[in-house]
A and B are shown apart, each in its own frame.
Chain A
Amino acid sequence: MLDHVFRGSKKYWAFIGLLLAVIGAGVFAYSFQLRDGLTVTGMSRDVSWGFYIAQFTFMVGVAAAAVMVVIPYYLHDYKAFGKMVIMAEFLAVPAVLVCMLFIAADMGQPMRMLNVMLHPTPNSVMFFDMTVLFGYLGINLIVGCISLDCERKGVHYPGWLKFFIFLSVPWAVSIHTVTAFLYAGLEARPFWMTAILAPRFLASAFAAGPSLLIILSFIVRKVSRFDPGEQAIKTLSTVVTYAMCLNIFFVGLEIFTVFYADMPHHMEPFIYMFKGLEHHGETYNNLVPFMWFGQILGVIAAIFLVIPSTRKNFTLLPFLCGAVILALWLEKGLGMVLAGFIPSPLLHITEYVPTAIELAVTIGIYAIGALTLTVLYKIIIGVREHGLPSAERQ
């Protein structure tokens, strides 16, 4: 199967080359962080997590979203997802990989990362997070590779694989729940300490992940002769619609609870995000334009997704999906992580702005994800095109 990776058009190799260059730039930027420490980032004593952890949180959701294709296909025998399901599993693999890299990039002592496994600490959510992420990576690799290999050989996948397929369903839910628990279990941070955080994470994940899958389907249709199927894309867009609406609803619940109860410590992070906080005569409002842009974009995308004619419009749909991804990335990646630190437990306000090095490392890590995804999708396309009549090599 791997041979498909090494046979491609000029465009394919140019894209691979571009990704490698971006990865190289990211590695170069990271070398400064490795030498000088996390001082090269915008993080501080008060805002001790930043861009890396924000991306990590967002991408765990993308990884978990494979379950939205796996459940209908394997549990409800929804045939339209037959060609899509492998794409979902092979999206989960680079997504988890990217998550792990973001965690590694965020560590002060990355060489000691294995301490988490050497000294397992069940009361730490981070230990669980690492465990479930590794597990999820393994499950999706096993299921994806074996089912694709069987398809290539024209045989049914082995019965024991069903076990891993079923396991992947609760496992996908668990990775994002555990990620929410990282935040929700901290009594020091009223903004995060809310039981709705895990459902909110899942809703946003099931909107953002399938959105990305839809966009990838359109790309695959464009660059190859393999078509994941119109019906599959349509059904997936319905999933995005429901999940996006649920997410907006959950955020609304949060805002009602906080502002109706009128408790200062719970309101301050929200006020910081949407209005800015006054403190000792200074205004802190770095996030305000991003948060409003994200929320408005998200609501507009949701409205167009709810309207059947615009949702079914295949010219418009990729843009709606892009809007959903961007809106949720701003809300859950950027806003959710950063606002939790404002104000600090000692009621100080320190604003965070990512540095160029942080951005370069972030883009580099995403490029590693994109490269992995490209390689895995190239295999899928190769196998699928081979099955088509009068196959023409891509």
Chain B
Amino acid sequence: MDDSRRDFLKKASIASLGIAALPVLSAGVRAVSGHGAATDSIQWGMVIDVQKCDNKALADAAQKACHTEHNVPAVPADLKDEEIKWIWTEAFQNVFPEQAHARMAHKLHDKQVVVLCNHCDRPSCVRVCPTKATWKRKSDGIVMMDMHRCIGCRFCMAACPFGARSFNYSDPRKFMDTEKPANTLYPTRSMGVVEKCTFCADRIREGRQPACVEAANAIVPGAMVFGNVNDPESEIYKYLTENHTLVRQLNLGTGPNVYYKL
């Protein structure tokens, strides 16, 4: 089903049936088009090789690359509960609770898995945001943030099933080296807004790979694959068709675009 028809149907449903009908209708559309089918539109996605990325040096390098580039503040240990994280690691059983059964091989059970925003097809955070401060970019499927717009209601944090969003409980500049952001060409955030991974929208614009992917692959080649999951010619498309991969919380229907190869 092409975009304009889908759009029209969505609008018609809002007009005639009210918002309650919207999820019902879009579910119908989904069944027709099917998740994962190739289309003309771009949808950036990422594969994380769990075995290759279970490597502290790699995970640290990926996080450092990201957090330096985006001036993500290093919140001190006494405020650990208010941490800001764009990309980090969690134990396998916390990332895939539905997969981690009691008799699972220990080597998998305790693996540290890299996690970040999934840039979902139907993101819960976008659905609940009252100001359109977060939205799914039509041009390439990135779930964006507008830091000028965010009112800091934290509805998106309650809605995200992946814990991908962080709130600036304090002024982030307090936690930056000598009050000097690491990357002077990238803005910091102000106090009281929510932030998260942007799939390095600024790098993608310049045709580059995201910072974490670049850093990870420099340590272990092939640890992460990034590309347009809708393009049958892309590396990631082929990777996904040839390898068995998982996504987090598939049953919730948000349609994550970060895939995990076990």
CA distance A121 to B82 in the complex (A): 28
How far does the Cβ of A217 sit from chain B's closest Cβ, in whole Å? 36
A129 to B23, CA, bound (A): 19
Distance in Å from the Cβ of B149 to the closest Cβ of chain A? 6
Of B124, B132, B133, B190, which contacts A187 at CB under 8 A?
B124
Within 8 A of A (CB), among B136-156: 149-155
Chain B residue contacts of A106, Cβ below 8 A = 153-154
Interface locus among B65-73, B90-98, B177-185: B90-98
The CA of A340 and the CA of B170, in the complex, are separated in Å by 24
**Contact across chains for A107 and B151 when beta carbons are under 8 A apart:** yes
CB-CB under 8 A from B127, the residues of chain A are 123-124, 185
* Contact across chains for A115 and B131 when beta carbons are under 8 A apart: yes
A108 & B166 in contact (Cβ 8 Å cutoff): no
Contacts of B252 in A (CB 8 A): 187-188
Q: In the complex, A353 Cα to B11 Cα: how many Å?
A: 44
Inter-chain contact A188/B160, CB cutoff 8 Å: yes
A109 on interface, CB distance cutoff 8 Å: yes
A116–B191 touching, CB < 8 Å:
no
Question: How far is B127's CA from A265's CA once the two chains are assembled, in angstroms?
Answer: 23
Chain A residues numbered 32-68 whose CB sits less than 8 Å from any CB in chain B: 36-39, 41, 43-46, 48-49
Residues of A within 8 Å of B227, CB to CB, are none
Residue numbers in B under 8 Å from A123 (CB-CB): 19, 22, 127
The CA of A183 and the CA of B93, in the complex, are separated in Å by 26
Closest to B97 in A: A347
Q: Is the pair A108, B168 in contact by a Cβ cutoff of 8 Å?
A: yes
In the complex, are the beta carbons of B79 and A39 less than 8 A apart? Answer: yes
From residue A376, how far is it (CB to closest CB) to chain B in Å?
Answer: 29
Residues of A within 8 A of B221 (CB): none
Distance of A41 Cα from B154 Cα, bound (Å): 14
Number of interface residues of B (CB under 8 A): 51
From known contacts A44-B81, A107-B153, A112-B151, infer whether A119 and B132 are also in contact, taking CB-CB under 8 Å.
yes
The yes or no answer to B192 lying at the interface (CB within 8 A) is yes
The listed residue (B149, B154, B160) touching A108 by CB distance below 8 A is B154
Asked if A363 is at the interface (CB within 8 A of a chain B CB), the reply is no
Complexed CA–CA distance, A167 and B252 (Å): 37
Q: A345 contacts B162, CB within 8 Å?
A: yes
Q: Which of B85, B161, B253 has the most CB of A within 10 A?
A: B161
A119, B153: Cβ atoms under 8 Å?
no
Q: Counting CB contacts under 8 A, is B129 at the interface?
A: yes
* B90, B149, B153, most chain A CB atoms within 10 A: B153
Contact with B95, one of A110, A125, A344, A346 (Cβ below 8 angstroms): A346
Interface contact A347-B169, CB-CB below 8 Å: no
Cβ-closest chain B residue relative to A106: B153
Contact across chains for B124 and A115 when beta carbons are under 8 A apart? no
Chain A residues with Cβ below 8 Å from B169 are 37-39, 41, 43-44
Whole-angstrom distance from the CB of B109 to the nearest CB of chain A?
A: 13
Is B254 located at the chain interface by the 8 A CB criterion? yes
Q: Which of A228-270 contact B (CB under 8 A)?
A: 265
- A108 and B19 within 8 A (CB): no
Chain A residue at smallest Cβ distance from B160: A188
Q: Decide if A189 is an interface residue (CB 8 Å cutoff).
A: yes
CA distance A209 to B203 in the complex (A): 55
Q: Which residues of B contact A303 (CB under 8 A)?
A: none
Across the interface, do A346 and B170 meet the contact criterion of CB distance under 8 Å?
no
CB-defined contacts of B168 to chain A, threshold 8 Å: 37, 108
Shortest beta-carbon distance, B173 to chain A, in Å? 12
- The reply to whether B128 and A126 form a contact with Cβ atoms under 8 Å apart is yes
Q: Which of A44, A107, A187, A265 is B82 in contact with, Cβ under 8 Å?
A: A44
Are A46 and B163 in contact, with the CB atoms below 8 A?
yes
The answer on a CB contact under 8 Å between B124 and A188 is yes
Residues of A within 8 A of B129 (CB): 121, 124
**A109 and B160 in contact (CB under 8 A), knowing A36-B170, A126-B153?**
no
Provide the residues of chain A in CB contact with B95, threshold 8 Å.
346
A113 touches which of B79, B151, B166, B190 (Cβ 8 Å) = B151
Chain B residues in the interface with A (C-beta under 8 A): 14, 19, 22, 79, 81-83, 85, 90, 93-95, 97, 115, 124, 127-133, 149-155, 157-163, 166-171, 190-194, 249, 252-254
Could you jot down 24 A-B contacts, CB within 8 Å?
A: A36-B171, A37-B168, A45-B157, A45-B167, A46-B163, A106-B154, A108-B194, A112-B149, A112-B150, A115-B130, A119-B132, A119-B149, A124-B155, A126-B153, A126-B155, A183-B158, A185-B128, A186-B159, A188-B159, A188-B252, A340-B158, A346-B90, A346-B162, A347-B94
Question: Shortest 8 CB-CB distances between A and B: which pairs?
Answer: A108-B152, A108-B192, A44-B81, A188-B161, A126-B130, A39-B169, A48-B157, A124-B130
